[in-house]
Each structure stands twice: as C-alpha cells, then as structure tokens.
Structure 1
Amino acid sequence: MIETLFLVLPLMLSPGPANLVTFALTARFGFAKILPFLLGISLVYIVIAIVLGAITSRLAEQYADVTNYIRVFGSCFIVYLGVKLLRRRNRNTLTKAPSLWNGITLQLLNPKYPPVVLSVFANSQNKNTLITAAILCIIGVTGLVIYASAGMFMRRQVNVEKQLGVLDFVFGLLLCFTGIWLLLS
C-alpha cells in the first residue's frame, strides 16, 4: 500500500487540468461557491478509478485505440477551455460559479486521469482494486484542496476583479499548454 501511495502522490498532485481549473475558479469565486464543481470532479475520480481498476488489463488489450481517441478529444477540450479564457472580453461582470455538472464534464474529458489510473493499477503492488481506487481518490481530492487553498490565497492577496485579465491570460495559457502537451505526449 505504501508503494501505491508513493506512485500516486506525484501523479495526482501535479498541475493537471482539474487542479489548474480548481485554482483559477477558487481565486475567482471562492471555495464555497465551487464546492459543487469539486464534488463533480471527485465523483468522477471515484467512478473512473473503480471502473478502470476492475478492467485495466482488458481495456489496455482490447480498446487501446479508444483510449487514444479519449486522450485526443480531452486534450482538444482542454485547449478549447484555455482559448475561451484567453478570448474572454467581458471580465468585469461576475458569471455564475461552476456547477456539479461542469465538474463531472471536466473530469470525464480530462485526458490525464485515465492514463494515470491505468498506470497506477499496472504498477501497483497492491492487488486490491478498492484500496488502490481509494488511494487514488483520496490523493486526488487532497490535490484539489491544495490547489483550491492556493486559489484562496491568491484571492486574498490581489483584487481578483482588477486582475481578471491577467489571471484569465495566465490560466488560459496554462490550460492551452497542458492540452497541447497531453495531445503530443
């Protein structure tokens, strides 16, 4: 179990799409308003970890092309989100906070998570699917909380409303780079 934990930590705490979006949204809306969004991501963490854990070997053998299509589509979706942030013009009006469905959609289309899950299950010494899935989910949610805390720190340090253009630009570029990196890798 310790080996699985050390395998999961760097994978789930790295700045992937869910973590970067969580940081940006928390800086914009605050932690309480994005809780439904975080719950959506967390629900997908659980479902995908259990489903992929149960069928890891079969999925890799029978559906290798499908995982490539998901990776490409998800990468393009993340670039789309980044471009949308870069092109946003009306920055001074508040929009509503993201919903549970937004969190589910983001994580379902996140091309980083399924390969991480597959890698963890393929390399894990722990053969208990539920324990490995639980470790993935706990570390994943911990990562979201860490990035949300950093977003709250940002929110307190700067006037987010005045800095929205800069934040949108930085996070838009980060999302575009992340999507392109995932597409090319």
Structure 2
Amino acid sequence: MSMEFVITWLAVMLPLIFSPGPANVTFAAAGASLGVRQSLPLLAGIDFIFILKGFVVGFGLMTWFIDYPVSLRALQVCGVIYLVYLAYSFAKPSKLQGQSGVPKISIWNGMVIQILNVKGWIITFTMFSVFAPNLETESAVSILTLIVMMAILNISTHFCWIAFGGWLGKISANRKSQKMRGMFFL
C-alpha cells in the first residue's frame, strides 16, 4: 500500500467519518452530559459495530442492500426512532429519570446506534466501492487493511467528538457562561 493511496484514502474518509452525524452528535452529547470516561462504553459499542460493518460489507453485504433497497429505508426509520429516544433520555429533567440526574449509557446503546446508523453504512459502502471496487477479486489482506484503517480513524475521531462535548459541557457549566447564554437568548 503506497503513501499516495493512504493520503487519498484519508482525503476521502476523514471528512466522511469526522462530519456530524448521528453517532458523532451522540458522542458530543455524551461527552457533555457524562464526561469522557463515562462515554467510553458508547465509543466501544459504536466502533465495535463499525468494525463489524467493515467485515460484513467487505465480505459481501453490499449486494444484499442493492437487491433489497427497502431494507435500507427500514434501517433509516429505526435509526431515527432510536435517536429520538436517546435525545429524550439526555434531555429529560432529572426528576423524571429517578436517578442522580445523569443518564447511564452502555456499550449496548452504542451498538444499537451504530447498527441503525445509515451514515455509518454509507461510509462503509463508500470506502469499499471507491478503494476496493471489485470486492470479489480483492484479497482478504486488502479488505482487512481497509477495515483496520477505518477502525483507527473512527476511534480517534470519535474520541475527539467525546472530548469536544466534554469541553463544551465544562464551559457551559460555569455561571458566567450561563449568564451570557441567558442574555443572548432573551
């Protein structure tokens, strides 16, 4: 694999993976609400499924979605419903939660988010269609290399989203920031 290939791959994949989407926005919200450490199970769940998507798509699922496009639409609808549920659980008042006010998030939440994340599926399909257009003739090593590259990029950018959310949470928690926000929204 040449350096030119890696640079081209990064030029295509970095904007796709780093851009705001359901998982990245959830990472920022979790970082702001829970902090970096408590958001790590979410990262583990989402990135585990992202890696699994790489294996599934790299070794044959793309043809199934092409043959049954309604399945992609069903995935989108389920994803939206689950994200609305998660947004509600982050936003509802702590009195209604019956907890200490901070929602708990687990590896399972991350797995469900990523299974239903159509953007994640499209990113994976895009990577293989651009960088391994003839999957049936590609070597397993080439497919595995793309999956590893995607995993490294995903984990690092997702951690950035969590850290950014954590930083925003800290900034918005101080009284001066709250006062300025109150004046701005009056």
> What is the TM-score with the length of structure 2 in the denominator?
0.75
- The answer to whether the aligner puts 1:75 opposite 2:80 as a matched pair is yes
- Structure 1 pair 61–110 and aligned structure 2 pair: CA distance change class (3 A): closer
What secondary structure, in the 3-state scheme, does the structure 2 residue paired with 1:94 have? coil
> 1:152 and 2:166 equivalent?
yes
Q: Distance in 1 between matches of 2:132 and 2:124?
A: 14
Q: Quick one: which amino acid aligns to residue 106 of structure 1?
A: I
Of all paired residues, the percent bearing the same amino acid is: 25
Give matches, 1:97-176, under 5 Å: 97-124=104-131, 127=138, 128-159=142-173
SS where residue 94 of structure 2 aligns?
coil
Gaps of 5+ in 1: 167-185
* Cα pair distance change 1:60/1:101, threshold 3 Å: closer
1:81 is displaced (CA, Å) by 3.4
Is the contact made by 1:26 and 1:148 (CA closer than 8 Å) also made in structure 2? yes
Displaced runs of 4 or more, over 3 A: 79-86, 89-93, 160-163
Deviation larger for 119-128 or 142-151: 119-128
Q: How does 1:44-83 map to 2 (within 5 A)?
A: 44-82=49-87
Q: Which has the larger radius of gyration?
A: 2
CA offset at residue 79 of structure 1?
Answer: 3.6
Confirm whether residue 32 of structure 1 aligns to residue 46 of structure 2: no
In the TM superposition, residue 10 of structure 1 has moved relative to its aligned partner by 0.7
* SS of residue in 2 equivalent to 1:152: helix
Distance, in Å, in 2 between the alignment partners of 1:66 and 1:80 is 21
* 2:98 counterpart of 1:94: no
Contact 1:8 1:135 (8 Å CA) reproduced:
no
Cα offset, 1:115, TM superposition: 1.3
Paired positions, count: 163
Q: Deviations over 1:157-182 (max 9, x none)?
A: 2317996xx9xxxxxxxxxxxxxxxx
Contact 1:36 1:103 in 2 (8 A): yes
- Tell me, in whole angstroms, the C-alpha distance in 1 between the residues paired with 2:132 and 2:86: 37
Q: Secondary structure at the match of 1:25?
A: helix
User: Which residue is equivalent to 1:11?
Assistant: 16
Contact 2:23 2:114 (C-alpha < 8 Å) held by counterparts: yes
